[in-house]
């Protein structure tokens, strides 16, 4: 029987996180790839400006 594992990134009084997914175009092939990263919610706009 499998164990159920519950992982949470949000704790009371802690930092909340957001998952940012950006489409990045390769200069070599022209194909799009997706870059995913977890960032604190307060810095989402700063990460997307890059």
pLDDT tens by residue, 8-50 = 555 566 678 889 888 899 999 999 999 998 888 888 888 888 7
Q: What is the pLDDT of residue 9?
A: 57
Q: What is the pLDDT of residue 8?
A: 58
Q: Are 50 and 37 in contact (CB under 8 A)?
A: no
**Helix residue ranges, H only, the chain:** 44-49
Confidence of residue 6 (pLDDT cuts 50, 70, 90): low
User: What's the DSSP call for residue 3?
Assistant: P
Q: Which of 15, 11, 19, 12 is nearest to 47 (CA)?
A: 19
Question: Residue 44 CB: number of other CB atoms within 10 A?
Answer: 14
Whether 1 shows a pLDDT value over 50: the answer reads no
pTM: 0.56
Q: What is the pLDDT of residue 50?
A: 77
- Give me the phi and psi of 45, to 5 degrees please: -65, -35
């Amino acid at each position: 029987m499998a164990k159920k594992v519950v992982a949470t990134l949000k704790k009371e009084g802690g930092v909340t996180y957001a998952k940012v997914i950006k489409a990045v175009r390769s200069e070599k092939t022209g194909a799009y790839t997706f870059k995913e990263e977890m960032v604190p919610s307060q810095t989402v706009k700063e990460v997307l400006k890059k």
